[in-house]
Amino acid sequence: MNRKDASGGAAVERLVKLPFKKSLEISIKSLRARFYRSLITTLSLVLAVSFLSFVRVGTDVANGLLATGDPALRQALVRSGYDLGPEDTHTGSSPKQRWIIILSLVVCTVGIINAQLMAVTERFREIGTMKCLGALDRFILRLFLLESGMQGLAGAFAGALIGAFFAVIGAGLHYGTVVLRVLPLSDVAISVGLATGVGCLLSLVGVLYPAIVAARMQPVDAMRVEH
């Protein structure tokens, strides 16, 4: 056995490591083992993001309809609540809508923080054990960020698609099949992408504090927890 380093000098090779592939593997396993729990955590994100996507895609559809220049469609838009001036060729979401979206996203983030804090508490012993085996703070941080990132990506993408789907269906029922003809596909794609991105970001923001709590934990504290 190697004893020549017994004098205690800090050598470079004295580093513990966790390859990225392995962390990914562990976090996927953790997600799968707690599938339903992860699903519920993700669900609030799905809902909030689908709302964002719904509103954005709804606006995209309205803009598509306006771009046709058809006065009948313009009338229909005004009747369904779009605040259009006589010369407007473009519409955005109303301040009220924006407020509701922001609120729903904030509520969703708080929900994620809450759920992740509980997940950390539940996994105190697991985290402490890993630390006793030599895991560094950043390994733990990385595991939580990866899990949350994957949850965020899946949840936000699903939410964005659901929101876009219902926005198009809703508009189709309201204005007729003309919607499908004038649908600005690139704008819709941007909206879906944006909603997915926002969802991922919120998921990561939500896990940051719980993950730091987990990573900073002393192994001895983890051992003390009685279940």
Partner 1 sequence: MPQTTHIVRVSKVTKNFHLGKVEVRVLKGIDLEIERGNYISIMGPSGSGKSTLFNMIGGLDKPTSGKVFIDDVDIAQLDAYELAWLRCRKIGYIFQTFNIIPVMTALENVTLPMIFAGVGNDEAVEKGIQLLELVGLGDRFQHKPSELSGGQQQRVAVARALANDPAIILADEPTGNLDLTTGEEIIYLLKRLCRERGVTVISATHDFKMLNVSDQVVWIRDGLIDKIEGRDELSISVGEIGRRD
Q: How far apart are CA 61 and CA 58, in angstroms?
A: 5
Q: Are 148 and 37 in contact (CB under 8 A)?
A: no
Task: State which of residues 100, 113, 136, 153 lies at the interface with partner 1 (CB under 8 A).
Answer: 136
Give the shortest CB-114-to-partner 1 separation in angstroms.
22
Site membership for partner 1, residue 30 (CB under 8 A): yes
Give the shortest CB-210-to-partner 1 separation in angstroms.
18
Task: State which of residues 114, 129, 187, 201 lies at the interface with partner 1 (CB under 8 A).
Answer: 129
Q: How far apart are CA 21 and CA 2, in angstroms?
A: 28
Stretch that binds partner 1, among 26-34, 73-81, 106-114, 163-171 (CB under 8 A): 26-34
Site membership for partner 1, residue 184 (CB under 8 A): no
Nearer to partner 1, 58 or 210 (CB): 210
Site membership for partner 1, residue 29 (CB under 8 A): yes
Task: State which of residues 24, 100, 125, 213 lies at the interface with partner 1 (CB under 8 A).
Answer: 125
Stretch that binds partner 1, among 10-18, 75-83, 93-101, 179-187 (CB under 8 A): 10-18
What is the contact surface with partner 1 in residues (CB under 8 A)? 1, 3-4, 6-8, 10, 14-19, 22, 26, 29-30, 32-34, 125-126, 128-137, 139, 218-220, 223, 227
